[in-house]
Structure 1
Amino acid sequence: MDAIFKAFRNSLVFVLFGSLFLSGCAYRLGTPSRSIPGGYKQISVPIFRNRTQETGIEVGFTNNLIQEFQRSRIARVVDNSLSEVSVIGEITSVQYLPGAKRTAGDSSAFYLPNGTVLASEYRILLTVTVKVVRQADGTELWSGGFSGERTYQAPLVTLAGVNSVNPLYNLSARRQNIDVMATDLMAEAHDRITENF
């Protein structure tokens, strides 16, 4: 009885795997087919232009977009002189807006002098444009705009002599949030560039 059950189980497994193998031409695992507009396979990603006062952030955006293309293998990132198309990016604006505020009358800010108002968080608003340009004639094949928003806690002021505002924290928090936004926005840019072509 045990031998009959094992034979039945083995034949059932064989039939299931065989049917999956034979139906393989009709069913594909993974993501749908993606490509660069025009079907190009060799791209370059020059360093992004940075139109903002926030120096150095263009490197993170450029590197994140390159990593997305290297990860997906939709196109090979090569030197500009060897590429068929260029993916050109530009950081157009970065804004820092104060969010929630603390005033001298709040129970959590009783130590502040009268009339004092402090921002307890900041919002970062960032916009980027990306376009795909054919190298041979400069034709723009695709373009899109991307915007992101993140909030971070402001440096807190407590009793004098115990704690003070740390300007390095503020710069570090800004940069960390911009780096996260670069990763998210460039993943979205990659997906939008390569869909439906």
Structure 2
Amino acid sequence: MARLCAVVVAVLVAGAGCGYRFVARDGTLPEGVRAVCAPIFFNETSEPGLETLFTRAMRQEMVRSGTLGDGAACEARLEGVVTNVSSYPTIVTEPITDENGVVVVGPQLASYRAFAEARLRLLKDERVLAETSVSGTEDYLPGSGDVLEAEANRQAALHRLSETLMREGYERLARNW
């Protein structure tokens, strides 16, 4: 154990001597804004709970970049609207036939795709500093015939998609697209 600790300390000291350091990624927002509040997003879809999912993903991005403010310390506000969500089948397997051409197994659904879209605006004193729209897709499996399994897969896909879209959205706001 002592030997392991010595190795870890040696690596850290050697790394520090080479100029390496651990810092948060650049989260510079327009006009040097460093503390942003992110109230719960609006949900214009018929899918319940998406506003919470997308708000949480955006706040997580802001924590990573060091820009999430709290209450009175906020210099700006980030507003979001989830504008669209859908799911649709993407891959259907070909039917399997026997040597006589009789269909043994019919076509089966092999994959679904979730789609989501959101608008983001960064405001300072009710003035828009930056705004963008993001959209994307995430594939998921339909499950093994169990409706609950298929829905769990869909929810997991929407979770991954919200994280991806909010990461992209934050980067666009920081670059002032």
Structure 1 pair 154/130, CA: closer, same or farther in 2 (3 Å)? same
SS of the aligned residue for 1:183 comes to helix
Shift of 1:29: 8.9
Deviating 4+ runs (over 6 angstroms): 28-32
Match of 1:62 in 2: 55
**Whole-Å separation in 1 of the counterparts to 2:166 and 2:111:** 25
Q: 36, 46, 70: which one pairs with 1:78?
A: 70
**Whole-Å separation in 2 of the counterparts to 1:171 and 1:153:** 10
1:194 aligns with 2:174: yes
Shift of 1:33: 5.5
Q: Is the 8 A contact 1:64 1:182 kept in 2?
A: yes
1:96 aligns with 2:102: no
Q: How many residues were matched structurally?
A: 156
**Whole-Å separation in 2 of the counterparts to 1:94 and 1:67:** 21
TM-score by length of 2: 0.74
Note the residue ranges of structure 2 that are not aligned, 5 or more in a row: 1-16
Shift of 1:128: 1.0
The root-mean-square deviation of aligned C-alpha atoms, in Å, is: 2.9
The structure with the largest alpha-carbon Rg is 1
SS of the aligned residue for 1:127 comes to strand
Percent sequence identity over aligned pairs: 22
**Whole-Å separation in 1 of the counterparts to 2:47 and 2:164:** 19
SS of the aligned residue for 1:54 comes to coil
